[in-house]
Amino acid sequence: MFTGPGAVFLSADSMLSVSRALDERKESPTLVVVTSALQLALVVLVWLLVLIPAAIAALTILTVKTVRALLRRPAVSSPPIEEDKS
């Protein structure tokens, strides 16, 4: 147990009264909803901040590979047309 300067010791009675006060405290339903919505928005924002750059990097690599493959491929030419000699 911490016994240094600033240590706070609570008796069993005072801990029970604090516990009862917390149990009896009513939470505003509106505050709960707003807090939950803000937490969800924060999670979505963090995921987007992580996923959008990764998606852009993946699309860039895919585009570069596709363009390189198209530039390396020789041009497709049609076979010469032979005239009918009949």
Which pLDDT score, from 0 to 100, does residue 73 have? Answer: 76
Confidence of residue 86 (pLDDT cuts 50, 70, 90): low
**What is the rounded distance in angstroms from the CA atom of residue 53 to the CA atom of residue 14?**
53
From 1-10, 14-23, 35-44, 63-72, the region with the lowest mean pLDDT: 1-10
pTM, full prediction: 0.44
- Under a CB-based contact definition with an 8 Å cutoff, are residues 24 and 16 in contact? no
The per-residue pLDDT for range 25-81, each reduced to its tens digit, is 778 889 999 999 999 999 999 999 999 999 999 999 999 999 999 888 776 677 777
